[in-house]
Every structure is written in structure tokens, then in C-alpha cells.
Structure 1
Amino acid sequence: MKKNIALVTGGFSGESVISYRTADTIGANLDPAVYNVYRIDINS
């Protein structure tokens, strides 16, 4: 059974750009055969 991972990204400050990049990097390195990856975007 695959594990579920939630990547919470975004935000309300200038740091949100770094948050998006970090989530992209983490998501790209998680094995889709092992994990269901869900992105949660905080933007408003």
C-alpha cells in the first residue's frame, strides 16, 4: 500500500517562491511507486 504525502506550499510573503521550488524538488524526488503525493497550495 502506498503512503500518502501532502506537500504544503505557498504562503503570503516573498518566501512563497522558495516554498514552491522546495515542494517541486521534494515532489520530484519522491518515488511515485511508493508515495501518493498531494500538493496543497496556500495562496489566498
Structure 2
Amino acid sequence: MIPGQVFPAGGEIELNAGQPTVTLDVANTGDRPVQVGSHYH
């Protein structure tokens, strides 16, 4: 084993299967650029 080594699972992994989604329209009216993202703990 190598420290930090990753052993990925085979195949595809579907995240949040069956969970509802939300679509937002976002407008920036300020004079500075903003980034919109999602974050979950």
C-alpha cells in the first residue's frame, strides 16, 4: 500500500439517485463578479 493510494470501485456510481432537483435563475446586479455553486455537508 502506498500512502494516499486510492482504490476506486469498478463501474459507475450514481449520486443522489431519486432525490429531487432544484433549478434556480440567478442574476448579479452588483459591480463585482460572483460564483454560484452547490455545497453539502
TM-score by length of 1: 0.26
* Larger-gyration structure (1/2): 2
Q: Which one scores higher on RCO, CA 8 angstroms, separation ≥ 6?
A: 1
Query: Which structure dedicates a bigger proportion of its chain to strand?
Result: 1
